[in-house]
Structure 1
Amino acid sequence: MRSAALVAALAAAQAQAAITVKDDGGNTVTLQKPAQRVISLAPHVTEMLFAAGGGSHVVGVVSYSDFPEEAKKIPQIGSNREVDLERIMALKPDLIVVWRHGSSERQIDMVRKLGVPLFHSEPQKLEDIPESVARLGQLMGTEKTANPAADALRQQLVSLRSRYANRPPVRVFYQVWDKPLYTLNGKHIVSDALRLCGAENIFAKLPVTAPVVSVEGVLQENPEAIFATAEKNYGGVSMWKPYGTLLAVRNDNLFTIDGNLVNRSGPRMVQGAAALCEKIELARQHRSK
């Protein structure tokens, strides 16, 4: 009887020790103990893992995982488009954090067959970012770092929302790339950042997340401000300068912003949102000229 009771007690203790969280896809992720060897399949995920205090647990990353600086030293196991399954297995991960995007389904299905627990990371709104940091901290047992980091991000968002919530709206075109010319619709997290700043995405209602648009379409919408990210070999907002009828051109509201801060849905996106808000406020000030 005693041995049976002991076995039952041990089983109960192990069940209590299990870590269970929901990922961004609504899936339940359960680990029997904190993850010690984690692989990140997206640059924003790498940033989240470090912010959650788990940098020393990250054993593999994909290309462009270049922040923080220590992330550059971690072995790469492929890219967003293709990973090396043999290298992943050789690293013996106990957690893989994946990101779903247009061409990722087949890759994720292959990774899932490895039998390693997966956490799907895809924040839809800015408020999801601190929640993700906290949940990843739970999975790695690094709550002492993750929870304060998540709280700090939440407070920054509260502060931004309080500052810009009642400001006059500004109609904005957010340019992701110029050849082809494409943007983001209202469901993308970048549009959530724009809304936080009191801005309206002129192409928010388009059904495709990253739709291709035309120059004529932008001219017809006549945005008050245009944003583009700073990238090498990239025309950016300068392509709009010849269109003097554009309100954004007339009011000198052609803005460039750091793509690493706004195009990655990691902790630094809160900083990127603050930068967006500052530029949008500048556009409001230009109205009085």
Structure 2
Amino acid sequence: MTNTPRNRFTWLVALATALAASPACEPGDGRADGDGGTVSSVVDAAGHRHDVREPRVRVVSLVPAVTETIESMGLRTRVAARTRYDEQPSLAHLPSVGGGLDPNLELLAALSPDLVVAWRDAGGMGSLSGRLRELGIPVYQVEVESIEAYRYSTRNLARLLHALPVADSLLAAVDAELTAVSRTVEGRPSPSALFLVQRDPPMAAGPGTFIDSLLAVAGAANVFEGVTEEWPMISLEDVLWRDPEFLVLPVVGLGDARDARREPPVEEVETLLASAGWREVRAVAERRVIAVDAGLFARPGPAMGRAAASLADHLHQDRPVDPRTDSVGRTPPPRAGNEGVGASGRGDSTR
């Protein structure tokens, strides 16, 4: 698929549908579980076991959400390269290995990473994970389809990095933000919403996905919650029959969410409003179309609270939602793992 702004969000979500040097920490640091035990290995989404007794210090993540998580844990200097989808200015100086599904394997091998994080694939010699293993590169595979799956993969990654305490602090901060949004909309009517992943052909976010979870946190009911597929291809007739109260449309590079009822619509929303057939959908006819930043909603990562808040703010216009405060307006403690703080507490310097 060609990498264009219009298809980038679909590319990131389609990954899920296609899936069947910092100082080392003291020995044992960051590997202890909550019950006081210490683990010696973790299992990735493909069922492969990885030894965690030595920390990984040169990591290449082919999954943007994982890259963002590593950076949020204050371990940016352990990231040896980026993909074309990692657009943070803080990573611009790093070499790009290309796409997440089709990286430059020659460059990857030359970088000598001690861990590559990739989407789970079918395995085998022809798969990306198989080719990486042929090159002697350790690959940890992830499949992040829900908020809970994000927690699981983040804690496993932290064990590999010997940064479990930092990861737990990060996850607690994410959970606090999501809880704050949920409490703010608690007790209000839940409008039905369609999250339109792509318009042509139409695809929706279905049950069990992290977007479905974000809709729930934001106080909305997924209009396709009863289907069996996580990312169903849908028909316009089905949308008309289900009659969502809101339509949520991801737009690449948007920034702040925009409501077509109150702000000039962006090009993608203008096209939807003018499209034959879609104009018959009541939410479209009444301009109840919310454009959201595609990058923010395509990555189940540290910014999930901000994503839920931006959506809730437009679904419930009478009361803005701020993920930085709880239901009574208090500000949670600062997130652990700020820039310059590594897993050992001695500091992974930033560049």
TM-score clears 0.5: yes
Q: Deviations over 1:126-165 (max 9, x none)?
A: 2443554444333223446433322211211222232234
State the one-letter code of the partner of 1:255. Answer: I
Q: What residue is the counterpart of 1:266 in the other structure? A: 301
Quote the offset at 1:24 in angstroms.
4.7
Q: Deviations over 1:78-108 (max 9, x none)?
A: 2123122222221111111112379998222
Further displaced range: 120-129 or 87-96: 120-129
Aligned partners of 1:45 and 1:121 also within 8 Å? no
- TM-score, normalised to structure 1's length? 0.80
Q: Deviations over 1:43-72 (max 9, x none)?
A: 1121111112221011122221113x2122
Please say if 1:148 is aligned against 2:148: no
What is the RMSD of the two structures over their aligned residues, measured on CA atoms? 3.3
Q: What residue is the counterpart of 2:268 in the other structure? A: 236
Quote the offset at 1:21 in angstroms.
3.3
**Equivalent runs, 1:1-289 vs 2, <5 Å:** 19-24=40-45, 27-67=48-88, 69-100=89-120, 106-143=127-164, 145-231=166-252, 236-241=268-273, 246-249=281-284, 251-282=286-317
Q: Deviations over 1:158-181 (max 9, x none)?
A: 222322343322111111222222
State the one-letter code of the partner of 2:215. Answer: L
Aligned partners of 1:97 and 1:120 also within 8 Å? yes
Q: Deviations over 1:33-52 (max 9, x none)?
A: 11110011121121111112
Aligned partners of 2:181 and 2:305 also within 8 Å? no
Number of matched pairs: 271
State the one-letter code of the partner of 2:132. Answer: V
Quote the offset at 1:256 in angstroms.
0.6
Aligned partners of 1:34 and 1:141 also within 8 Å? yes
State the one-letter code of the partner of 1:34. Answer: P
Q: Give the direction of change, closer, same or farther, for the CA distance of 1:74–1:17 in structure 2 (3 Å limit).
A: farther
Q: Give the direction of change, closer, same or farther, for the CA distance of 1:103–1:140 in structure 2 (3 Å limit).
A: closer
Quote the offset at 1:117 in angstroms.
3.2
Quote the offset at 1:185 in angstroms.
1.4
Distance 1:263 1:277 in 2: 17
Q: Give the direction of change, closer, same or farther, for the CA distance of 1:193–1:18 in structure 2 (3 Å limit).
A: closer
**SS of aligned partner of 1:182:** strand
Distance 2:188 2:145 in 1: 23
Aligned partners of 2:174 and 2:304 also within 8 Å? no
* Structure 1: 5+ residue stretches without partners: 1-11
**SS of aligned partner of 1:176:** strand
Further displaced range: 35-44 or 176-185: 176-185
State the one-letter code of the partner of 1:263. Answer: A
Quote the offset at 1:76 in angstroms.
1.4
Aligned partners of 2:42 and 2:52 also within 8 Å? no
Quote the offset at 1:273 in angstroms.
1.4
Q: Deviations over 1:222-268 (max 9, x none)?
A: 11000101237x85333443566533245542111111111111212
Q: Give the direction of change, closer, same or farther, for the CA distance of 1:106–1:160 in structure 2 (3 Å limit).
A: same
Q: Give the direction of change, closer, same or farther, for the CA distance of 1:117–1:244 in structure 2 (3 Å limit).
A: closer
Quote the offset at 1:215 in angstroms.
2.5
Q: Give the direction of change, closer, same or farther, for the CA distance of 1:49–1:82 in structure 2 (3 Å limit).
A: same
Aligned partners of 1:130 and 1:151 also within 8 Å? no
State the one-letter code of the partner of 2:167. Answer: A
State the one-letter code of the partner of 1:273. Answer: A
